Structures are given as C-alpha cells and as structure tokens.
Amino acid sequence: MKATPPIETEIKLNAGTVESARRLLYRAGFRVHRRRVFEDNIILDTPSGLLRRNGTLLRIRRTAGEVLLTHKGKAANGKHKSREECETAVEDGDAMVAIAERLGFRKAFRYQKYRTEYRLPGSSGLATLDETPIGVYLELEGQPAWIDRAARRLGFPEGDYITDSYGGLYFKWCRKRRVKPGDMVF
C-alpha cells in the first residue's frame, strides 16, 4: 500500500518587527515551543530551472545539529499555500549536496533566517517567527480553519495572507529596490 505524502498548508504574515511579533503572539496565547535557531537553506534545481518552472522545490536545510532534505510539490491555488511535503533527516549535508550535484542538480538559491516556533496550547497548528534579511514574518501552518482562526486572533485579515516562498518574496524585494538578486543571506 502506497503511503499518502503529507500536505503542508501555510501562510506568511508581514510582522513588522521582532518585538511587535512577539507581543502579538504572547497576547494571543502562543508560547515558545522551540527556541530561536539559525537556518541555512540551499535550494537545488536542474541547470535549466526545471523544478522552479514546475513550482516544486528541493531543499537542504541546516540548523544546529540537524540537516533536513525536503521536497515540496506544486502548490494548489487558494488563499492558503497547500502542497505535498516530503522531508527526512540527513546525516551529512555536504554529502547530500555532493550527491545531488552528481545527479545533475545545482545550488540555485540560498537563504537564511532565524526561526522561533510557537504553539497555542491545546491546538495542533504551528506559528513561527522568522527573522530574515528582508523582514520579519509570522508563518502559520496547520489546517486551513486553524490558520484562519489563528490569523484573526493575531489581528490579521485574509487580505494580509502571503503565499509566496521566501525566494519569491526576496526576488520581489530586489525588484522593488532595483537590486541585483543573489542569495538571501545575512
């Protein structure tokens, strides 16, 4: 029997500053679930950009003591970003990059952020506070109804929902400022 891949459903919200985002989260009842960690992400693609053109993603994420290999499928249209997500721990991130390169992939984009995870006691969703080189974002991940309730609880209407990836946000940020895109790193 073939297992059904998990579906990730999420939105991002422009949070202003780290301090204001923390205040919003605490006032809404969210509590720290995982302390602030630094993430370094490498997006892999074919030389022709096939994955990006198809709306899919292959990522290697490194945090303190953990390396994750993730494939994300094409997102469904809607007010939330929903797509298949397959993820597994990898022992050696450098070896994984080397293997991917030997299979014809290349490093297409690199982005970094600091992430703090929050949970609302008694609920299944996850809120993250992401500090990036282009701004501070809250990310809400869970069932669509939970995301909508959590966003309202935090004071955000549906019109504030962002479904872009950090890569997409970064390239928009560069276009707006007429900056040549590179990697989104500190």
What pLDDT does residue 3 have?
66
Model pTM score: 0.93
Residue 48 pLDDT greater than 70, yes or no: yes
**Run of H or E residues at 74:** none
> How far, in Å, CA of 116 to CA of 152, rounded?
20
Q: What domains sit in the chain, N to C, each tagged with a CATH number?
A: 7-177 (2.40.320.10)
Tell me the CB-side half-sphere exposure of residue 69, using CA atoms within 13 A: 13
Q: What is the pLDDT of residues 146-179, one digit of tens each?
A: 999 999 999 999 999 999 999 999 999 999 999 9
> How far, in Å, CA of 87 to CA of 58, rounded?
10
Residue 28's φ and ψ, nearest 5 degrees, are: -85, 0
